[in-house]
Amino acid sequence: MARNAGDHTAHLTREQYRVTQQHGTEPPFSGEYNGFKGNGIFACVCCGQPLFSSETKYDSGSGWPSFYRPIDEQAVGVQADCSMGMRREEVHCSQCEAHLGHVFPDGPDPTGLRFCINSVSLDFKPTE
């Protein structure tokens, strides 16, 4: 069962809170991890759960960090998002329910998925 995200928000910046707790979106091409090339794990900025590996990160040209799969299928949840006059699939942390971004069916092989994630929703942990 997911824990309440409110238990994990005291350390967040105003922008991290707006995106993760109020389902906001950072402006395209503005995020710290959009063009980032480091090796490691991208974790939830709220609770620290590992979400994506740098091995699955790619440049989608969308303006947000993109991944073709989560580190574990159980790490993220997906639900319908009908805001902004369209239907999208929202991605959230399965542990604390923080909003991460959206997933689209236009990604590369092997999954065909594009997890389009806000940089401010992520905390990078480099591999040693």
| Catalytic residue annotation | 116
Closest by CA position to 24, among listed 107, 117, 115, 123: 117
Check: CB of residue 114 under 8 Å from CB of residue 104: yes
Helices (H), ranges, the chain: 14-22
